[in-house]
Amino acid sequence: MLKRITAQELIAWREAGRAFVLLDVRDEDEYAAGHIPGSINIPVREIADQRDKLPEDLLMPLVVYCQSGIRARRACMLLDQIGYAALYELGGISAWPGTLER
């Protein structure tokens, strides 16, 4: 099931030590130019081919973001088809108020 999550909620999750995977579904060059610290990069077009980078636990919360939110929604649909049950869409990276990692 897909839910929206705000940057403030994500920060609160981090501060509380909640377990989740932060997934950046932009292309590799976009990720290299700046990404949210702690995120992993699997471009949306490679999700099916890179399942080994995703958690085995289908109940692990996945927080997904991209540049504007379009690819994040597409990625969440693919992840739902795979069987992930706790999907959260952050939307675009512009929603992140913190420093980006390069």
Q: Residue 66 catalytic? A: yes
CA–CA dist 28, 10 (Å, integer): 23
Q: Checking DSSP bridges between strand 21-24 and strand 2-4, what pairing results, if any?
A: unpaired
- Which among 42, 63, 66, 93 is annotated as catalytic? 66
Q: Provide φ and ψ at 57, rounded to 5°.
A: -75, 110
Residues tagged active-site: 66
